[in-house]
Amino acid sequence: MSQQLPPCLRCQSAIETDDLRCPVCYLAINRAPALPAAAIRVQTLRCRSCGAALEYRASLQAPQCAFCGGVLALEEKVDPVEQAERYLPFIFDRQAATDAYRQWLGQLGWFRPSNLTSNARLESLHALWWIGWVVNADVLITWTADSDAGAQRAKWAPHSGELGTMFDGLVIPAGRGLTAAECVRLIPSYSLGNTSDPAGPQHPEAVLERFELPRSAARSTILETIRRQAESEVQAQHIPGSRFRNFHAAIRLRSLVSRRMAFPAYVIAYRYHGRLYRTVISGQVPSCIIGEAPRSVAKVILVVVLAALALGGLALGLLLQLR
Amino acid sequence: MPVFALGFAVEREAANCAVRNWIRSRRMAPFGLGKMAVERLSGVYLPAYLYSATANSRYEASIAEKYKKLRLDRDDDGASIRRSEETEYRDLAGRHVTSLSDILVTASHNVRNEEIEVIEPYELSRLRRYTPALLQGWSAEEVSLSPEICLGHARDEARALVTRLLHEFMPGDGVRSLRHHTEFEEESIDLTLVPVWICTIRYHPRKPPLRILVNGQTAKAGGRMPFSWGKLGLVLLASAAVLAAAIVGLSLLGKAFL
């Protein structure tokens, strides 16, 4: 895994050893003195096998020996698949997770089947670290839009503005094990300051989800998410008036630091009347449970019928009173 | 010393083919050019500067907001209501800040910036740190333009890009009188070697040879094709003949009906 270097001199964003340029502002890393005027000098490289001169071959995109065919590997731009750096610990064990799940089934409300707690059969319970990026970013947004505020003859008036905002501990899900909606609801339950040793996870049975994106694609995802968040913040809070159109934003990242983290969760599958349902419990707060549960059709019909009868009775009463 | 380099990915045969295809696509190229042998085709690493900066612009513009208006028209027959579209102009001023990157300008006195622009873009995601191994067996041109001149070219390109971005940034249904003052901050300029196949063809003994450039990464070809006045004359003659035939045909047709 690549190591972190001192941050970018221009934008203070995190730099890794394989980076040729800053991923945010494209400043060259370990660059030669600015504006060089020196002549280019060509050295003759020799084949390590036979000692003949090497020649760069466009088909291989690498130097090759014309005599023995040996290829000299060049330094390639590395684009590895990301790996988790830090793990948030599981605060409670499987038994506590099972208890939390049972308690949750019993508290789902009147519309659920009365025998749900007794008839729901636990099929599986897996400890899982789902993965995501925790991002700290300093962003400057300049924007323009038409809004109804200050409109004169036309319905719209042009507006512009700028906003400096910090994203501190913004979590961006990176895996596919959990849905985006599940991750969003789990995120508030985690204590981001409490991470375990970066050497590896301590939970013996937990499955660690893998990052699927190479670093360049991961950075694109992070930048796109920050852009969307920043634009949403401006649209929700800073455009005057009640309606707007033609929104445009220019976003400049003044700094960006991202950490790859693994978040603990228990994934439960249970069966009720032959159908499988899924529930996810935060590995740090047992009361944070997101899941699917069946509804009692009989109870729903009963409520609808009772409501219809009540409305009918009310209407009849009003009719009789009018006569 | 260069900071970065892009390796050649296009071989000589592919470059030759790209030149032929490009010549064939030029309809007004001089006669027989497509059949002429490529006099010289050489792969060269050209020096260029990669420029990046933060563009901080203050702008003022007049923004068009369209609206519908009902108008009452009176005439001798009575009155009628007409719906017309009007435009209201509102002033807008503000700031636009953005990061600019990957602006490539030539550092070679022999190859002008416009010649590089026609064969761009280069895949800068395949950028490598400069190593002499990339140059083995290939020519590399030395830097022949001063960094100050290249910086000026890069700023001109950046300014044109900012103007385009600002036009896209404006709200409303249109914009007029867009003025901006842009300052470039946190500039960086890094010497980079880019792969180019340079092809020369002597198509006329008294005229300078034709130079065609091929992107050494993507095989995109481009150059300044001389205009064939002979072909233009032929096209004009053919058009005139067709027009005359049409007029004669129509007049004969008219007489036949009369």
Q: What is the pLDDT of residue A48?
A: 61
Residues of B in contact with A247 (CB under 8 A): 171
Q: Is A192 exposed, middle or buried (0-12, 13-18, 19+ CB in 10 A)?
A: middle
Whether residue A142 lies within 8 A of chain B, CB to CB, comes out as yes
Nearest to A40 among B66, B140, B190 (CB): B140
**Angstroms from B195 CA to nearest CA on chain A:** 10
Residues of A in contact with B98 (CB under 8 A): 142, 250-252
Kindly tell me if the per-residue pLDDT of B129 is higher than 70: yes
pLDDT digits (tens, 9 = 90+) for B39-98: 678 899 999 999 999 999 999 999 999 999 888 888 777 888 888 899 999 999 999 999
Instruction: Tell me whether residues B99 and A26 touch, CB distance under 8 A.
Output: yes
Pairs across A and B, CB distance < 8 A: 182
Whether residue B90 lies within 8 A of chain A, CB to CB, comes out as yes
Backbone angles phi, psi at A26, to 5 degrees: 65, 20
AA letter at B24: R
Break chain A into its structural domains and give their ranges.
Answer: 37-292
To which H or E segment does residue B57 belong? strand B40-75
Residue A40 — very low, low, confident or very high, per pLDDT cuts 50/70/90? very low
Whether residue B129 lies within 8 A of chain A, CB to CB, comes out as yes
A185-194 mean pLDDT: 87
d(CA A117, CA A107): 9
The SS3 call for residue A4 is strand
AA letter at B37: A
Instruction: Tell me whether residues B97 and A58 touch, CB distance under 8 A.
Output: no
Whether residue A37 lies within 8 A of chain B, CB to CB, comes out as yes
Break chain B into its structural domains and give their ranges.
Answer: 4-59+97-226, 228-258
Alpha-carbon Rg for chain A in angstroms: 30
B residues 195-254 lying closer than 8 A (beta carbon) to A: 216
Q: Is B150 exposed, middle or buried (0-12, 13-18, 19+ CB in 10 A)?
A: buried
Backbone angles phi, psi at A43, to 5 degrees: -100, 155
Residue ranges of E strands in chain A:
4-5, 15-16, 54-57, 62-65, 86-87, 121-147, 157-173, 207-208, 244-272, 275-282, 289-291
Residue A1 — very low, low, confident or very high, per pLDDT cuts 50/70/90? very low
Nearest to B128 among A53, A77, A162 (CB): A77
- Please give the model's pTM, rounded to 2 decimal places: 0.74
Residues of A in contact with B63 (CB under 8 A): 158
Q: Which residues pair with A251 in a beta bridge?
A: A141
A residues 68-107 lying closer than 8 A (beta carbon) to B: 72, 74-77
**Rounded mean pLDDT of chain A?**
82
Q: Which residues contact B191 (CB under 8 A, 6 or more apart)?
A: A32, A36, B1, B2, B3, B4, B47, B48, B49, B107, B143
Whether residue B88 lies within 8 A of chain A, CB to CB, comes out as yes
Whether residue B99 lies within 8 A of chain A, CB to CB, comes out as yes
Q: What is the pLDDT of residue A99?
A: 94
Kindly tell me if the per-residue pLDDT of A76 is higher than 60: no
